[in-house]
Structure 1
């Protein structure tokens, strides 16, 4: 894939954020810096960056895809109060054991999405 200023702006936007932005979030942030930019162009560039392994797609059923700068293995928590998506590190040993106990299946990969309260909303609920 050849270089484009638009792709570079999209990539920089994902890499500079830890809030797992949607394509709409990215578009609204960079549209003033890039006249003629369309939401479709942002989607195309995000898809290309995912295919290139430069960003990670975070899919939550029934919601817009989010994009993550962290490429290492981890899971996500979707806050049912504020809508924030946070990275979560969990012990995968029990899941790996469950997969290993099913030799009749050929599982290539899996993702785990958690739904609940983020640390800020949990703290606010306590107050």
Structure 2
């Protein structure tokens, strides 16, 4: 992957955030530093960074894709109230054992996303 100032700005933005930003959020954050930057360029750079294994794409059905700086294996929790995405570490041993017990399935991988209400929303509502 060739170096470009635009790609560097996009990468730096993803690396500096822990909130799993969307392409629109990244574009909004970097456009003042690079006035000629388009949203399409942000998308192309994010796709290239994902393909190069430098950024991880987080897909939530019905939502814009998010981008994650953490490449190590982990899962996510999506808050159904505020839309926040958080990293979670789960013991997936039982799931891995279930997959291993089904050799007729050619499982190549999986992504686990939990849906619920984050602690900030729960505190705000008094629950």
Report the TM-score range of the alignment, normalised by the length of the smaller protein. over 0.9
Please show how residues 90-109 of structure 1 align to structure 2 within 5 Å: 90-109=90-109
Two-structure CA RMSD over aligned residues (Å):
0.9
Determine helix, strand or coil for the equivalent of 1:33.
coil
Q: State how many pairs are aligned.
A: 127
Q: Secondary structure at the match of 1:10?
A: helix
Question: 1:69 is matched with which residue?
Answer: 69
Alignment of 1:1-127 (within 5 A): 1-126=1-126
Q: What is the CA distance between 1:61 and its match in structure 2?
A: 0.8
The CA distance in 1 between the partners of 2:78 and 2:66, in whole Å, is 11
List alignment gaps of at least 5 residues for structure 1: none
Q: Counterpart of 1:67 in 2: which secondary structure?
A: strand
TM-score normalised to the size of structure 2? 0.97
In the TM superposition, what is the alpha-carbon distance from 1:62 to its structure 2 partner?
A: 1.2
Structure 1 distance, partners of 2:101, 2:121, is 37
Structure 2, gaps ≥5 residues long? none
For residues 23-53 of structure 1, the C-alpha deviation after alignment (integer angstroms, 9 at most, x for no partner) is: 0000011001101100000000000000111
